Structure 1
Amino acid sequence: MPENAAPRRPRRRGPYRRRLRSRIIVSFVLLGFCLTTLFAFATNWARMRVENQLVEDVMNRNIDEYARRFASDSSRNPDLPVQQMFARLVKPDRFEALRQEEPDWYEFTDGIHSVSGTDDRGQPYSYKLAVRKTPQAWFFLAYDMTESLRGETQLNRALFLSVLVFSLLSLVLGWWSASKVMKPVSDLAKRLRAYRGGTSDPEPLAPRFPDDEVGQLAQALDDYSSRLTEVVQRDREFNADVSHELRTPLAVIRGATELLLTRPGLDEKVLQRLQRIQRAEQQCSDLIGALLLLSRNERGQGTSNVARVAEQLLDSHRAQLGGKPITLTLEGARDVIVDAPESALSVALGNLIGNAVKYSQDGEVRVNVGNNAVSVADSGPGLSEEDAAKLFQRGYRGTHAGHSQGGGIGLSIVSRLCDLYGWQVSVRPGGDRGVVATLTFAPKLLA
């Protein structure tokens, strides 16, 4: 079983948790980036498509006109219809020479072809080549796209810059929008943090917010706060009633018992029964005091001698052994003082000693008081893995409980007292048999 078997409180999430404000900002940035990137891609694609279509239409018309003029007057080379283009006419006797000069042109079929590369000076070039091949001649019409390629590079740079600028604008817009959207929520959270339950009639939140989603949330919190306040008030009234109604008859029992114990000549059996009633009254008073402290979630005032409380508990259990061959012993330091009332210490330590006595049929129950801890070792049946995992759960009675009395809340109360006072409780298997329960006190609570 783990060293500390008490249930632990859930941990808070780490710093990696993303706030809602950050999510809004990131959403705006992603939206702006995606839209501008898509617009830039669509713009570049449309420009290239339209430009290519226009250039190819112009080249097709010009090369057709070039071929028509040659067919009408084959005795001379026709003039180039458009001056921005370069035309070349290859007659049949020059076909093989073209193979040597321009092998790519020789292999081209009729149509429009894109040609690009670098010249002898390392400068990039690009042009479109229109090809018409007839038995009488081959016609080539080239359109220089180098300037268009440079313009495309400049356009891509401009589009990239626009994507960057609009992404930054989206970041600024997202930051501003998140501040505006989250301000009412932040104000609501600030007011909730400011209220620490210092009054039984908290100020309503809904009137301070507009009638929107945040206002509806504030209204729901007001309703929840109202119901919670009613529950807390009823709980306080119940605790006060229980404290009064139970302490009164216990005080009567204590007074009557003390009065009877002062009478001389009491029968031995009557004396033992009166002492048992006195011990039971003291246990009830301690338990009521501890439970009231738990219900209020506040520490009681006072100090306790651990060895003295343990000795009182052992004396109480010696009188209730009922003939079981068990030896109850106390060892260790006698001067350890804990900054806690005897009622709390008696309930916590008494449950550990009570369980040890209950589950031990013979042998020894040994209480050892150390510098900052007290341990209770028994000779019972031991501790199973199932018990180790569920021992401090409310209502769990253990696999060795059998038909013994009890509701399985003793160790749960011990665990809650430990949380209240900063103690630690652990239960582990003993050496050959039995169980060792250890109650460790917080150093700052040691007097």
Structure 2
Amino acid sequence: MRNSLRFKVALFFSVLTIALLVAQALGVRALAEAQEERLIAALIRDDMASVIKSYQANPALLPPFDVRLNGYVSSADRMPIALPETVRTLPFGTHEIIIDDREIHVAIASMGTARLYRVYNFNIYEKHFKEVINALMGGTGIFALLTIWLSFGLSALLVRQVAGLARQVKTLRLGESAAIHPGKYDETELVGLVEAFNDYHQRMADMMAREKEFTGNVSHELRTPLTAIKTSCELLEQDTAIQGKSRARLQQIERAADNMRELANALLMLAREDSAREVEPVAMAKMIETALAPFAARLEQKGLDSIIDIDGELRVVANRPALAIVLSNLIDNAVRHTDHGRLHFRYANGWLYIEDTGPGIPAHAIPHVFDRFYQAPSPDTPTPGVGIGLSIVRKLCERYGWSIEIGSEPGRGTSVSLRLPAVSRT
């Protein structure tokens, strides 16, 4: 699944900024905690020096002696705190102990042959400090959310011109000479991209124009000799002196001329890009009858029945000339490969089915039947084609959005399915 450029830019800025904010918040927190410990240690050190000095100067100020602890216990707070007996084993210095779920600092110093215990309770100070730290972390979270919002807004500004270029590219039609004006864009990279696209678009337009001109010229130039061949064949058919193999050859020439004319029409239609929008309701049964007409003699010669099992009122939305070419090629392919039986045409659930009783297509050949110049090996077919008919059929189906499928089983015939939406009836 592809993500938009805007999403990627916003995600990058968001992740980067949030990572920096979190790193900064954690650094500030660690620094503040370290400074807090240094401040507490300095306060205790100064207070202990002052207390010891005052006790040494006036021993009467000494606090009560605690036999359990073998020392004097004084408190920096007004509320006395009972120390556990375990502090007796602690060395001289400042220690942190937990009493009644409170963190208490105890400073231990020598007082003659006894010990002096000085108790400090910084819980209120530490509570306020934690509230400040929590507020800092909460502010970091708010800034992180704000960063995401700002990142999406900033990314929209950054990719705005890219999105505008994409919209302009979509509006261009292949073959048009209009180019995108690079003056609308500020970024140097986008201007270079626009110029490169304009150059590519112009080369593609020139190539398509040459291809259309060549295909159109070839198609039109072929019609003149094909018309002459067709007319000559019709005149020669009226000559009763032509019999036997000569008449068969004459009919073969006429069929080849008809195939060439259909091929020329298909090439000309493929060369016309605008033809994809020329659609109309078409009577399906009538189209099939018209497409079958040129094959009447071949059907009679082979003894094939053609069954059109389609409602005469059924109409599909299609380009009439394109559908005629597709049907002609599919029928020609079916007649060429079917020596006995029938051709069956039916329509169901938006699909036209053309079924024959020919030898079928090998499973390995089915994926290639639409390839240009490909011909499935069939010794039973006396008049093979050139392998371009089904390729043209596929191109036309792609042009008009018709799905086409082929199902076949050797010895049981072939079924071609063509997706043609019917006109809804009110």
State the TM-score, normalizing by the size of structure 2: 0.79
SS at match of 1:203: coil
| Conserved? CA contact 2:356–2:414, under 8 Å | yes
Instruction: Give the residue type in structure 2 aligned to 1:433.
Output: G
In the alignment, is residue 247 of structure 1 matched against residue 230 of structure 2?
A: no
Residue in 1 that maps onto 2:407: 428
Distance 1:418 1:240, change over 3 A: closer
Residue in 1 that maps onto 2:28: 43
Paired residues in the alignment total 401
Distance 1:57 1:443, change over 3 A: closer
Alignment equivalent of 1:207, drawn from 166, 183, 187: 183
Q: Aligned equivalents of 1:102 and 1:117: distance in 2? A: 8
1:45-444 counterparts in 2 under 5 A?
45-60=30-45, 62-63=47-48, 76=59, 90=65, 95=70, 102-116=84-98, 118=100, 125-132=102-109, 136-197=113-174, 200-210=176-186, 212-297=188-273, 298=275, 304-310=286-292, 312-313=294-295, 315-316=297-298, 328-333=304-309, 340-341=320-321, 342-354=324-336, 356-357=337-338, 364-371=340-347, 373-380=352-359, 382-384=361-363, 386-398=364-376, 408-430=387-409, 433-444=411-422
Q: Aligned equivalents of 2:48 and 2:106: distance in 1? A: 10
Q: Aligned equivalents of 2:30 and 2:234: distance in 1? A: 102
Distance 1:213 1:365, change over 3 A: farther
| Conserved? CA contact 2:219–2:267, under 8 Å | no
Q: Aligned equivalents of 1:348 and 1:90: distance in 2? A: 115
Instruction: Give the residue type in structure 2 aligned to 1:180.
Output: L
SS at match of 2:59: coil
Residue in 2 that maps onto 1:8: none
CA-based RMSD of the aligned residues comes to 3.8
Instruction: Give the residue type in structure 2 aligned to 1:347.
Output: N
Instruction: Give the residue type in structure 2 aligned to 1:387.
Output: A
Residue in 2 that maps onto 1:85: none
SS at match of 2:105: strand
Residue in 2 that maps onto 1:9: none
Deviations 1:376-423 (A, max 9, x none): 333426532x33444434454447689996564443333233334454
Distance 1:275 1:104, change over 3 A: same
Q: Aligned equivalents of 1:77 and 1:364: distance in 2? A: 132
SS at match of 1:444: coil
In the alignment, is residue 24 of structure 1 matched against residue 6 of structure 2?
A: no
SS at match of 2:422: helix
Q: Aligned equivalents of 1:19 and 1:267: distance in 2? A: 72
Structure 2: unaligned runs, 5 residues or longer: 74-81
Structure showing greater relative contact order (alpha-carbon pairs closer than 8 Å, 6 or more residues apart): 1
Distance 1:251 1:101, change over 3 A: closer
Instruction: Give the residue type in structure 1 aligned to 2:155.
Output: A
| Conserved? CA contact 2:108–2:117, under 8 Å | yes
Percent sequence identity is 21
Q: Aligned equivalents of 1:371 and 1:51: distance in 2? A: 86
| Conserved? CA contact 2:306–2:344, under 8 Å | yes
TM-aligned CA deviation for residue 62 of structure 1: 4.6
TM-aligned CA deviation for residue 240 of structure 1: 1.6
Deviations 1:143-175 (A, max 9, x none): 221122122222123202421342244245324
| Conserved? CA contact 1:28–1:173, under 8 Å | no
TM-aligned CA deviation for residue 353 of structure 1: 3.5
Distance 1:382 1:132, change over 3 A: same
| Conserved? CA contact 1:365–1:376, under 8 Å | no
Q: Aligned equivalents of 2:126 and 2:213: distance in 1? A: 86
| Conserved? CA contact 1:383–1:434, under 8 Å | no
Q: Aligned equivalents of 1:237 and 1:27: distance in 2? A: 50
Q: Which moved more, 1:204-213 or 1:300-309?
A: 300-309
SS at match of 2:304: strand
Instruction: Give the residue type in structure 1 aligned to 2:227.
Output: A
Structure 1: unaligned runs, 5 residues or longer: 1-12, 80-87, 119-123, 320-325, 358-362
TM-aligned CA deviation for residue 346 of structure 1: 0.5
| Conserved? CA contact 1:377–1:435, under 8 Å | yes
| Conserved? CA contact 1:21–1:178, under 8 Å | yes
Distance 1:402 1:154, change over 3 A: farther
Distance 1:165 1:267, change over 3 A: closer
State the TM-score, normalizing by the size of structure 1: 0.75
Q: Aligned equivalents of 2:71 and 2:421: distance in 1? A: 104
Q: Aligned equivalents of 2:333 and 2:64: distance in 1? A: 112
SS at match of 2:197: helix
TM-aligned CA deviation for residue 368 of structure 1: 0.6
SS at match of 1:283: helix
Distance 1:185 1:29, change over 3 A: same
SS at match of 2:176: coil
Deviations 1:152-210 (A, max 9, x none): 2221232024213422442453244223212221221232233234x732134323323
1:6-21 counterparts in 2 under 5 A?
17-21=2-6
TM-aligned CA deviation for residue 283 of structure 1: 1.5
SS at match of 1:364: coil
| Conserved? CA contact 1:287–1:347, under 8 Å | no
Residue in 1 that maps onto 2:77: none
